[in-house]
Amino acid sequence: MTAEDAKIEARFAGALGGFVLDVAFETPMRGITALFGPSGCGKTTILRCMAGLRHLPGRLAVNNQVWQDDGRGVFLKPYRRAVGYVFQEASLFAHLTVHKNLLFGAQRVQGHVRGQASDGGVKFGDAVDMLGLETLLNRTPGALSGGERQRVAVGRALLSQPELLLMDEPLAALDHETKEEILPYLETLHEHLSIPIVYVSHDIAEVARLADRMVVLSNGKVAMEGDVTSVLERLDLTDSADRFEAGVVLAARVVRHDEKFQLTHFDHHGQSFVTPLVKVAAGDEVRLRVRARDVSLATQMPIGISVRNILKGIVAEIREESGTAYAEILVDIGGAKIRSRVTRAAVADLGLSIDAPVYALVKSVTFERRPRLR
Amino acid sequence: MSDFTELWPPIRLTLELATVTTIVLLLVGTPIAWWLARSKARWKEAVAAVVALPLVLPPTVLGFYLLIALGPEGPGGWIAGLFGGRSLAFTFEGLVIGSVIYSLPFVVQPIRNAFESFGERPLEVAATLRASPWDAFWSVAVPLARPGFITGAVLGFAHTVGEFGVVLMIGGNIPGETKVLSVAIYDYVETLRWTEANILAGGMLVFAFVVILSTMVLQKRTERSES
């Protein structure tokens, strides 16, 4: 069994009140896996089952250790599982300082000596550095902002040396600015830690930014699963608010920076992208997010237009949204596919059909800081 | 001018009784409060009602049943028999048992409220941080419920100091053994010794005021620190 084969296997089935959950998924022991879906689809329940806070019949194996197998009567209590859990509200212990909150789990891990972690465990100093907690250590939770509290909660979970980190919408209770303040810390974790993370979210932008893999849930069932890139190409977002956010992520390499116009040029399988200047070294790979609503289509190369990103491709799929004015077109631009949201009338006017050559006009590209797409 | 040294034994006895009773109350009341706060059993409110009974029962009624229970024919007499006694009625131990039952609601209620106030979450967090239920109880639940414990202890202590009816029924008036403050005051009034009655009654008044004031200040302070 090599490290590459190590995985998390989860299967839970049971009824909760009137709601029936029946899910099974597998995910590797590395990277971030997002459990994505609208509220009430069972995401949080799955996470609680994985932590052992809730017991639904099923099976859970993490890195070949069985945490739950009702067929054989195995069910480890939460405190016997090497799991870290970050709740939506930070839930710090109000009677302890930040320092003591951080050490709560660490002190209870058997054989773990503080500041001297074995085989790549998370050291106290490293967690404090990674999450920027140095100045908070002697404060009490009551004296922290929402974002600071959540960072402490993440640190506390990490220092209990988990084999698996579970995060239940850790950013949902925070305002936009605080989210932006925390996301870089989460990205840092992702780069520096080998611990797999299962991350519950209903925010597609967050998932697109952080996750490597995603499991899409709908009414207590797995609707789709796979790499974020491929799932986002296919994902049908039914909620109208989310449909607005539908789009894809692309891996792109930084080609050069243009200081004069303050632009960065990227390459994606021979197609070039331009974004406002970003601080990433030339040659590095980053993740770009392109929303379907930001992509227009043309059948000829447009001239005299302000849009900088014009990509040549062919129509791979046309999905009309019945009952609405819109259709989604999947355009194959070589390396990947991008989604475009146009009106059904436009589809008819342009005479779009499968395999027809088109130009995709990308009005806006969101640059995701993280330099890797695994 | 009368000699006031005879005022001292009832004061000392009362403080001893209240201290022992408070300790026993915390030991007995905490698990009851925990169970009432956490259990999902349907009949738990019936248990809560039994615990709360002394709030509404006339102390003499409670005292009457206790007298039977503690007497030679009751379970109290049986226990006393194990230690070579005949009855627990009219003994210090009997007074402790009576006081514990009489003051139980004053201790259980605040502690139960405190346990309920922080919900399941801190305990779930503790569990995901490798704390066993026993560990989490001591390292998380008890410290978080501290205001409830303080209120419960203060009220239990004060209520025991102030009890009269139950003591009179099960303890009588044995100097140094069961003659507590409230009974002593009653005695002095009966024998028209107003000076002594005045000193003890005035002392109780000040004591009661200080207790209530400090409990209220304490509560205000914890409310502020939580917000």
Q: What is the Rg, in whole angstroms, of the alpha carbon atoms belonging to chain B?
A: 20
A93–B128: do the CB atoms touch at under 8 Å? no
A157–B129: do the CB atoms touch at under 8 Å? yes
User: Is A340 at the interface with chain B, CB within 8 A?
Assistant: no
The minimum CA-CA distance between B168 and chain A, rounded to whole Å, is 43
In a mutational test of the A interface, the residue from B123, B124, B125, B149 whose CB has the highest number of chain A CBs within 10 Å is: B125
Taking 60 as the threshold, does the pLDDT of residue A43 lie above it?
yes
Buried b (16+ CB within 10 A) or exposed e, A20-55: ebbbebebbbbbbbbbbbeeebbbbbbbbbbbbbbe
Position with higher pLDDT, B168 vs B20: B20
User: Rounded to an integer, what distance in angstroms lies between the CA atom of residue A21 and that of residue A14?
Assistant: 5
Buried b (16+ CB within 10 A) or exposed e, B202-216: eebeeeeeebeeebe
Phi, psi (degrees; rounded to nearest 5) at A360: -100, 120
The partner residue sitting opposite B130, judged by closest CB among A95, A109, A142, is: A109
Residue of A nearest to B140 (CA): A93
Taking 80 as the threshold, does the pLDDT of residue B164 lie above it?
yes
Structure tokens at A319: 């999905």
Residue of B nearest to A162 (CA): B129
Residues 43-72 of A with CB under 8 A from B: 51-53
Give the Å distances, CA to CA, from A287 to A145, A248, B57, B127, B188.
30, 10, 73, 37, 89
Residue A167 forms beta bridges with which residues? Answer: A86, A199
Return the HEC string of B97-131: HHHHHHHHHHHHHHHHHHHHHCCCHHHHHHHHCCC
Are the C-beta atoms of B153 and B104 separated by less than 8 Å? no
Give pLDDT, residue A244: 64
**Residue range A57-66: mean pLDDT, rounded:** 94
User: Is A207 at the interface with chain B, CB within 8 A?
Assistant: no
A-chain CB neighbours of B138 within 8 Å are none
Complex confidence, ipTM: 0.81
Structure tokens at A235: 């994902």
Sheet with A366-368, strands from edge to edge, namely A271-276, A263-268, A247-258, A285-291, A366-368
Phi, psi (degrees; rounded to nearest 5) at A30: -160, 160
A108–B129: do the CB atoms touch at under 8 Å? yes
A93–B125: do the CB atoms touch at under 8 Å? yes
Give the range among A212-216, A322-326, B206-210 with minimum mean pLDDT: A322-326
B-chain CB neighbours of A108 within 8 Å are 129-131, 135
The partner residue sitting opposite A95, judged by closest CB among B121, B133, B144, is: B144
pLDDT single digits (tens) A285-329: 888 888 888 999 999 988 888 888 999 999 998 888 777 888 889
B-chain CB neighbours of A77 within 8 Å are 127, 132
Give pLDDT, residue A54: 93
| pLDDT band at A2; cut points 50, 70, 90 | low
Token pair 């302890």: residue: A96
User: Rounded to an integer, what distance in angstroms lies between the CA atom of residue A32 and that of residue B100?
Assistant: 56
Taking 60 as the threshold, does the pLDDT of residue A118 lie above it?
no
A-chain CB neighbours of B125 within 8 Å are 85, 87, 91, 93
Phi, psi (degrees; rounded to nearest 5) at A183: -50, -45
A-chain CB neighbours of B225 within 8 Å are 142
B127–A94: do the CB atoms touch at under 8 Å? no
- In chain B, % of residues over pLDDT 90: 63
Taking 80 as the threshold, does the pLDDT of residue B118 lie above it?
yes
Give pLDDT, residue A243: 63
The partner residue sitting opposite A104, judged by closest CB among B129, B225, B226, is: B129
Give the range among A45-49, A83-87, A213-217, A283-287 with minimum mean pLDDT: A283-287
Stated pTM of the model: 0.82
A77–B128: do the CB atoms touch at under 8 Å? no
The partner residue sitting opposite A84, judged by closest CB among B124, B128, B226, is: B128
Structure tokens at A154: 């993440």
pLDDT single digits (tens) B48-69: 999 999 999 999 999 999 999 9
Give, for B3, the enclosing helix (H) or strand (E): none
| Number of neighbours of residue A147 by Cβ within 10 angstroms | 19
Looking only at Cα atoms, what is the longest distance across chain A? 70
Taking 50 as the threshold, does the pLDDT of residue A67 lie above it?
yes
User: Rounded to an integer, what distance in angstroms lies between the CA atom of residue A282 and that of residue A131?
Assistant: 27
Strand intervals (E) in A29-69: 32-36, 58-62, 65-69
B-chain CB neighbours of A78 within 8 Å are 124, 127-128
**Residue range B204-220: mean pLDDT, rounded:** 87
A-chain CB neighbours of B149 within 8 Å are none
User: Rounded to an integer, what distance in angstroms lies between the CA atom of residue A185 and that of residue A183?
Assistant: 5
Taking 70 as the threshold, does the pLDDT of residue A121 lie above it?
yes
Residue of A nearest to B119 (CA): A91
B122–A93: do the CB atoms touch at under 8 Å? yes
Give the Å distances, CA to CA, from B170 to B84, B117, B179, B188.
19, 37, 11, 20
Are the C-beta atoms of A215 and A36 separated by less than 8 Å? yes
Give, for A74, the enclosing helix (H) or strand (E): strand A74-75
| Number of neighbours of residue A304 by Cβ within 10 angstroms | 4
Q: What is the mean pLDDT of chain B?
A: 90
Residues 129-188 of B with CB under 8 A from A: 129-133, 135, 139-140, 143-144, 146
A95–B225: do the CB atoms touch at under 8 Å? no
Give pLDDT, residue A119: 53
Taking 50 as the threshold, does the pLDDT of residue A112 lie above it?
no
Q: Which long-range contacts (CB under 8 A, 24 or more apart) does B82-90 make?
A: B89/B170, B89/B171, B90/B170, B90/B171, B90/B172, B90/B174, B90/B177, B90/B178
Q: Is B147 helix (H, G, I), strand (E, B) or coil?
A: helix
User: Rounded to an integer, what distance in angstroms lies between the CA atom of residue A117 and that of residue A115?
Assistant: 6
The partner residue sitting opposite B127, judged by closest CB among A78, A96, A157, is: A78
Residue A213 forms beta bridges with which residues? Answer: A33, A227
| pLDDT band at A367; cut points 50, 70, 90 | confident
Give the Å distances, CA to CA, from A320 to A351, A355, B64.
14, 17, 83
User: Is A121 at the interface with chain B, CB within 8 A?
Assistant: no
Token pair 């003994």: residue: B91
Give the Å distances, CA to CA, from B21 to A15, B13, B209.
48, 12, 21
A-chain CB neighbours of B132 within 8 Å are 77, 79
User: Rounded to an integer, what distance in angstroms lies between the CA atom of residue A208 and that of residue A187?
Assistant: 12
Size of interface A-B (CB pairs under 8 A): 64
A104–B128: do the CB atoms touch at under 8 Å? no
pLDDT single digits (tens) B103-115: 999 999 999 999 9
| pLDDT band at A3; cut points 50, 70, 90 | low
User: Rounded to an integer, what distance in angstroms lies between the CA atom of residue B190 and that of residue B203?
Assistant: 19
The partner residue sitting opposite A79, judged by closest CB among B132, B225, B226, is: B132
B-chain CB neighbours of A91 within 8 Å are 121-122, 125
User: Rounded to an integer, what distance in angstroms lies between the CA atom of residue A329 and that of residue A256?
Assistant: 31
User: Is A93 at the interface with chain B, CB within 8 A?
Assistant: yes
The minimum CA-CA distance between A117 and chain B, rounded to whole Å, is 17
Taking 80 as the threshold, does the pLDDT of residue B190 lie above it?
yes
In a mutational test of the B interface, the residue from A67, A108, A198 whose CB has the highest number of chain B CBs within 10 Å is: A108
Looking only at Cα atoms, what is the longest distance across chain B? 70
A104–B126: do the CB atoms touch at under 8 Å? yes
Instruction: Look up residue B139 and give its amino acid.
Output: S
Taking 80 as the threshold, does the pLDDT of residue B153 lie above it?
yes
